[in-house]
């Protein structure tokens, strides 16, 4: 991080070994651009999915779009359900999840996932997944990663600062929900305590 220069809202580096990849954040921006294109072509009902992160337009045959949320431990534990929750999305709503279960590797029994904590340079600890519901896909994309790194203790403050109202954070031990998310989501598990903040 010390080799990255920030001046006048521009990032640069004199270190030729440094590359910046905004691919993770790009999905939210791309989804918003796709919505603009769909509206321009008078498409009123659609679901745009970019690798599991999505935004809906209109309805599905007059009903809300019912979306399943993947269980972060469902892949590794056959006794756990593959889907931990579901939520009905309304017109112009988006749902983004950041999790430690898609991209990772293990060395000597320790798991290393792809969401790095910039404070340590290592994978963020304590969080398994964060799901954000919003009308702004770019905000939801950024917030899901930021709250994942913030973890079980700091996520409520970061969510407030980012203006995010609907959050589900699954930690190693508990499921945390904002009050607004608790009113919208349908949970399919009772294996972890549920905390509403």
pLDDT tens for each residue of 51-90: 888 999 999 999 999 999 998 876 666 667 788 999 999 9
* Tens of pLDDT, residues 103-136: 778 888 887 888 888 899 889 999 999 999 999 9
Boundaries of every domain in the chain:
5-196
Instruction: Determine contact, residues 28/138, Cβ cutoff 8 Å.
Output: yes
Question: 5-196, which class in CATH?
Answer: alpha beta
Give the pLDDT band (50/70/90) at residue 25: low
Neighbours of 24 (CB within 10 A): 16
Tens digits of residue pLDDT in 140-157: 989 999 999 999 999 999
Indicate the pTM of the whole model: 0.84
Q: What is d(CA 87, CA 69) in angstroms, rounded to the nearest whole number? A: 8
């Amino acid at each position: 991080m010390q080799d990255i220069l920030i001046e006048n809202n521009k990032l640069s580096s004199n270190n030729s070994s440094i590359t910046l990849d905004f691919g993770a954040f790009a999905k939210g921006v791309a989804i918003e651009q796709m919505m603009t294109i769909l509206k321009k072509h008078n498409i009123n009902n659609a679901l745009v999915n970019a690798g599991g992160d999505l935004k809906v337009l209109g309805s599905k045959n007059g009903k809300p779009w019912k979306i399943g949320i993947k269980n972060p431990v469902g892949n590794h534990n056959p006794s756990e359900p593959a889907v931990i929750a579901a939520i009905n999305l309304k017109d112009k709503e988006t749902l983004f999840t950041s999790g430690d279960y898609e991209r990772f590797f293990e060395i000597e029994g320790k798991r290393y996932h792809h969401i790095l904590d910039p404070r340590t340079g290592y994978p963020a600890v304590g969080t398994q997944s964060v799901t954000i519901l919003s009308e702004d896909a770019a905000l939801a994309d950024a917030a899901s990663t930021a709250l994942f790194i913030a973890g079980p203790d700091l996520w409520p403050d970061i969510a407030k600062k980012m203006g995010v109202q609907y959050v589900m954070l699954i930690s190693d031990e508990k499921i945390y929900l904002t009050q607004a998310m608790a009113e919208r989501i349908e949970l399919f598990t009772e294996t972890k305590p549920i905390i509403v903040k």
